[in-house]
Structure 1
Amino acid sequence: MRLFLTTAIASALLALAAPSRAAEPVLIGMGNLSGSLSDLSGLNYSLESGLAANLLGGMGSGLAWAGGNTFLALPDRGPNANDWGAPQLDNTTSFIARFQTVQLSLTANAAGSALPYTLTPTLQATTLLSSSTTLNYGPKAATLSGIVDSSTVLAGSKNYFSGRSDNFASGLSTNPANARLDPEGIRVSNDGKSVFISDEYGPYVYQFDRATGERIRTFSLPSSFAVGNVSSSGAAEISGNTAGRVANKGMEGLAISPDGKTLFGFVQSPLAQDGGDGGRYNRIVKIDVATGATSQFAFDNQINGKAYNSSELLALNDHELIVLERDGKGMGDGSKAAVKQLVKIDLTGAAEVSGIADLRTQPGTAIVGTRFLDIKAALNAAGISDALIPAKLEGIAFGEDVIVNGKTMHTLYLANDNDFLATAIPNGGSAPAAYGNQFYVFAFEGNLTNQAIAAVPEPSQYALLLAGLSLVGFVARRRSR
């Protein structure tokens, strides 16, 4: 009896002495934009697949806070979920790379509502991404007026980045002159005037002027991330290389430190030399914005003994990061979501692994994270079944603080890549359900140094061009009276 009491008292004291685990973020609002709308690019022609060049979709591939209720939503390389008869191109098209500016407005709900807030997304602008220098295209190139023979694109003209997989030259995949771009991560500079975008094709990390969409800088990634045998077919690239990023699993995530001085890039799956897709150790690249210098860290991506792909990075401060880990199951995949989690990692004291050729040989260098949010459980608690949780939850961003039950709390926004599909058939269903660009907002307490974004850019050149044309038309109408 005395032994039992002593053991019980000791266990209680240990429990009191152990640090309490912070409460997980709670869902406070959600909203969506239809997957069948047009964006504001003004592009009025059809892609090779027959779909509209201004189709709105995929907006959750990346999500960045830009101050206030303004966010930048990033679609990936464009609509290629439907077969249009180009397997050698992985059904990709000459979709011009772009980012969308959206307002994600929170409105407080009446007491007793299911959620404290209603989230209303509103599309504000579309900015097309381009280069002032000549880019390497395949047979076709995209312009403002349509898709043309690439030989007709004049040197020195505005060259648009494209999702079409054959827009590259021979050599390493990290050639910054390649036109193909599969954007997956986006962050805003502290002065608000530029954006950083990460890509899966190269992989690349580029800096673009936020107002014009023109590339202003390339950050050179380690050559070990490149593949030497480049192909327009992802399967051919995988089979033809034993080192470098796995096709369609390149620089998926991007974070920026609150002071704006450091970027953190993240490959979706381990490099081929680290085990490839399904492997356990992903590489995080730390980039000094001022100098471009890089360093690398390893992350153990296992959850309950199974390796998962990493979809996004978000910086709590200059050393703690949030990693989005998920399966590919759920709405849009015709299956049921099983694992969707945010994991917190700390780079303090972590081993620098640039000199390790194969992370499997030194697994002890990998950082192990702790759970920050079980997304699936939180959405289930809000009445969203596993079959209706989006398969591709990929974009995360912090936002402004809000009041929840009289308490000031931080916000975290989560978005999905809907593959440009307006509808999808959920698991167990026979009829398609709405599958738009979904946004979820969570609130949490804890230490957070939010990024101080100072400026709002001028309208894009394309928006100014449209405004100029409208003014010309107005003047012409006035003169004809």
Structure 2
Amino acid sequence: MRNRYGSACRYPDKNRVRTVRVAGSGTQADGREPALSPGHHLQATRWHYRPVVTDRSFLRPAVLAAGAVLCLVPGTAFAAHPKNDSAVLPRIPLAQFQNRLLPGSIADDRGVALGGVGSDLFHDKGDRPDEFWAITDRGPNGTVKVGGEEHVTFPVATFDPVIVKLRVRKNAVKVTRALPITNRAGRPVTGLPNVEGREEAPYEFDGKTRLAFNPDGIDSEGLVRTRAGEFWVAEEYGPSLLRLDRRGRVIERHVPQGWTGQGTSYPVKATLPAILNKRTYNRGFEGLTISPDGKSLYVAMQSPLSNPDKKTYKASRNGRILRFDLRSGKVAGEYVYRFEDVCSFDPASCGDQNEMKISGLAALDGHRVLVDERTDKVARVYTVDLRKATDILGSRWDDERTAPSLEKSAEVPAGVAALPKALTVDLAKVPGIPGKIEGIALAGRRTLAVINDNDFGLGTFGPDGRLIDSGVRTSITYVPLPG
């Protein structure tokens, strides 16, 4: 395999690892599955890298899904060159994007562009190797202080979470399909919180005007697609799992036993362990993947539970990953995930153990799963093996009366084997990787694709109520896997 410089992975020449930067896009929806015109695409940036190699016998050429040649070097990092070929495409306002999918749904986007599509990334084996599914979260949101109190704001309150299909082509990422998440009648579910007293109250962008709760609302963070073309979405409010049809309409929602939401416009099933009601605000389900045989979902809590209280969550290192059996529609396993110590993982965050999160999962086979563990600035991908961990489903660790609780325990409790972890990729050592890596997907047997969440570019709002963009872009980056 020869590169553009006429040699088979020869260094000092530069070989390319491409990072694709998503700026936002949209166009007219059409057909049964709303699609975006191929002419509308996102910003892409090609970065040039030179692998740092000590033993060149490990070099082997491979073709990335996007068509760039990369020499995979197991266990090595990449040293970035500043050169960067960039194709800057028009910035698409959020209202323009969504109103073509859901006419008249956004009256004023306050200058916010389409973003946030990095909440998760999924590659369907039935798709082209350069295609991915991605999903937004609940939409643009932030916090402001009003009268000494912090209020959670939704600057574009009528935003509806959306699933997008992306195609990586040379220097660009094109949005080829967009599916707003709706109920069976086609009404948007929105990203607003569900239950007063259970979630933080929502406000307009200035934090002064309170918005209504919406039992249909979701804070989507995880996405997979089944062989039948249906989607499953993991979200934070419930936390819950939603089954969607191929058009993005909610078929059913699985919530913890004892969930107090009422008045949803779609069926709700209380199939998840009640202990999950102890989740902390904005720290529900985050990572989601599906087993290669299509029989099981694996879903992770982003952080330890507030069990028995929020103080416990802030210090705990014991998280949970669940297995959901798709045939029975029930949880079939629950395992302890032991977070790294924040001081050794990310010294800049030392003292804030709650900065540690799980944000993405990718199944290798029926029992091994890749886990994206991160802070906002540092991310590492570990491999865990469910066969070697204790299944705590239905045990005393699912009973909130247990004292000390799983989360309160300084170590993994006696008699419980946590998921064994093996470091697979240290993304912090790959130059050019952005912060907030929230989605991971296998883009080939030896290639991992990762995506970050740019939070819709939210920075501050000017006196005119228009967004002053943060300038953060969403990037899809290919990273070689060792082995």
Scaled by the length of structure 1, the TM-score of the pair is 0.62
Q: Would you say 1:101 and 2:165 are equivalent positions? A: yes
Q: Please, which of 104, 109, 129 is the counterpart of residue 181 of structure 2?
A: 129
Counterpart-to-counterpart distance in 2, 1:418 and 1:222: 33
Distance 1:124 1:49, change over 3 A: same
Distance 1:32 1:45, change over 3 A: farther
Kept in 2: contact 1:65–1:399 (CA 8 A): yes
Kept in 2: contact 1:32–1:438 (CA 8 A): no
Residues 423-444 of structure 1, C-alpha deviation per residue, up to 9 Å, x if partnerless? 89xxxxxx98842111101122
Residues 373-431 of structure 1, C-alpha deviation per residue, up to 9 Å, x if partnerless? 1101112xxxx3xxxx5331101111245xxxxxxxx221100110111889xxxxxx9
Q: How many residues align?
A: 338
Counterpart-to-counterpart distance in 2, 1:170 and 1:316: 39
Q: Please, which of 262, 265, 277 is the counterpart of residue 299 of structure 2?
A: 265
Q: Give the alignment of 1:202-281 within 5 angstroms.
A: 202-210=238-246, 212-221=247-256, 244-273=278-307, 275-281=312-318
Distance 1:196 1:63, change over 3 A: same
Counterpart-to-counterpart distance in 1, 2:220 and 2:304: 18
Counterpart-to-counterpart distance in 2, 1:326 and 1:269: 11
Counterpart-to-counterpart distance in 2, 1:323 and 1:32: 32
Gapped regions of structure 1 (runs ≥ 5):
1-21, 108-118, 133-156, 230-240, 329-336, 402-409, 425-430, 447-481
Q: Give the alignment of 1:246-395 within 5 angstroms.
A: 246-273=280-307, 275-294=312-331, 295-303=333-341, 304=344, 307=353, 308-328=356-376, 337=377, 339-354=378-393, 355=395, 356=397, 357=399, 358-359=405-406, 360-361=408-409, 362-364=412-414, 365=416, 366-379=418-431, 384=432, 389-395=433-439
Kept in 2: contact 1:202–1:250 (CA 8 A): yes
Q: Would you say 1:79 and 2:140 are equivalent positions? A: yes
Higher helix share goes to which structure?
Answer: 1
Gapped regions of structure 2 (runs ≥ 5):
1-72, 201-213, 263-274, 400-404, 461-467
Residues 3-38 of structure 1, C-alpha deviation per residue, up to 9 Å, x if partnerless? xxxxxxxxxxxxxxxxxxx93376699999979424
Tell me what 2:203 maps to.
none
Tell me what 1:64 maps to.
122
Counterpart-to-counterpart distance in 2, 1:264 and 1:178: 25
Per the TM alignment, residue 352 of structure 1 is displaced from its structure 2 partner at its CA by 1.2
Range with bigger deviation, 354-363 or 76-85: 76-85
Q: Which amino acid aligns with 1:391?
A: G
Q: Which amino acid aligns with 1:23?
A: P
Residues 331-386 of structure 1, C-alpha deviation per residue, up to 9 Å, x if partnerless? xxxxxx3x21111111113111122142144535222412111101112xxxx3xx
Q: Please, which of 56, 72, 75 is the counterpart of residue 24 of structure 1?
A: 75
- Classify the secondary structure of the residue corresponding to 2:430: helix
Counterpart-to-counterpart distance in 1, 2:108 and 2:318: 37
Counterpart-to-counterpart distance in 2, 1:48 and 1:351: 51
Q: Please, which of 437, 442, 446 is the counterpart of residue 398 of structure 1?
A: 442
Q: Which amino acid aligns with 1:58?
A: G
Counterpart-to-counterpart distance in 2, 1:83 and 1:34: 32
Per the TM alignment, residue 88 of structure 1 is displaced from its structure 2 partner at its CA by 4.3
Q: Which amino acid aligns with 1:126?
A: A
Kept in 2: contact 1:33–1:436 (CA 8 A): no
Tell me what 2:32 maps to.
none
Q: Give the alignment of 1:129-208 within 5 angstroms.
A: 129-132=181-184, 157-165=185-193, 167-168=194-195, 178-191=215-228, 193-208=229-244
Kept in 2: contact 1:102–1:125 (CA 8 A): yes
Counterpart-to-counterpart distance in 2, 1:313 and 1:80: 24
Tell me what 1:37 maps to.
92
Tell me what 1:421 maps to.
457
Q: Which amino acid aligns with 1:160?
A: P
Which is greater in Rg?
Answer: 1
Per the TM alignment, residue 282 of structure 1 is displaced from its structure 2 partner at its CA by 0.7
Per the TM alignment, residue 123 of structure 1 is displaced from its structure 2 partner at its CA by 1.3
Distance 1:300 1:95, change over 3 A: same
Per the TM alignment, residue 218 of structure 1 is displaced from its structure 2 partner at its CA by 2.6
Scaled by the length of structure 2, the TM-score of the pair is 0.61
Kept in 1: contact 2:438–2:451 (CA 8 A): yes
Tell me what 1:465 maps to.
none
Q: Give the alignment of 1:50-61 within 5 angstroms.
A: 50-51=109-110, 55-61=113-119
Residues 146-175 of structure 1, C-alpha deviation per residue, up to 9 Å, x if partnerless? xxxxxxxxxxx433111123x4478899xx
Q: Which amino acid aligns with 1:276?
A: Y
